[in-house]
């Protein structure tokens, strides 16, 4: 009977050790899951921060592009206005010269007709 009690005590002792080891493994598993969750949260935060930074940089880039486009449009408009004004001035000079030449020729022809 003493052997049975010893065997039973050893069995209970082994079961207790097994349960303790299982509990330790369970705690280690939970710790690993907790660590993995923290890592995922950290990676998610970093990704969100990177997305926010990228979005802010894109907004700045679009604003800069809009400003540059506006400046380019104003410069182009000014260049077109200057080209039109220069062309108009050249046409006026040419017309004025043509009118002077025409008036001179009419005067010359009138003098020739008067002299006959």
Is the pLDDT at 1 greater than 70, yes or no? Answer: no
Is the pLDDT at 2 greater than 90, yes or no? Answer: no
pLDDT-based confidence at 84, cuts 50/70/90? very high
Is the pLDDT at 16 greater than 80, yes or no? Answer: yes
Is the pLDDT at 10 greater than 80, yes or no? Answer: yes
Task: Annotate 9-21 with b (16+ C-beta within 10 A) or e (fewer).
Answer: eeeeeeeeeeeee
Rounded mean pLDDT of the chain? 92
pLDDT in tens, 63-82: 999 999 999 999 999 999 99
**Token pair of 113 as six digits:** 């007709």
Is the pLDDT at 9 greater than 90, yes or no? Answer: no
Is the pLDDT at 116 greater than 80, yes or no? Answer: no
């Amino acid at each position: 009977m003493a052997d049975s009690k010893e065997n039973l005590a050893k069995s209970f002792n082994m079961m207790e050790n097994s349960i303790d080891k299982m509990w330790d493994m369970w705690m280690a598993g939970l710790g690993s899951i907790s660590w993995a969750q923290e890592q995922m949260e950290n990676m998610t935060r970093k990704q969100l921060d990177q997305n926010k930074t990228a979005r802010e940089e894109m907004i700045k880039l679009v604003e800069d592009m809009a400003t540059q486009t506006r400046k380019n449009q104003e410069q182009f408009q000014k260049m077109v206005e200057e080209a039109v004004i220069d062309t108009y001035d050249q046409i006026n000079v040419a017309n004025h010269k043509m009118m002077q030449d025409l008036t001179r020729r009419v005067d010359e022809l009138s003098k020739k007709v008067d002299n006959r």
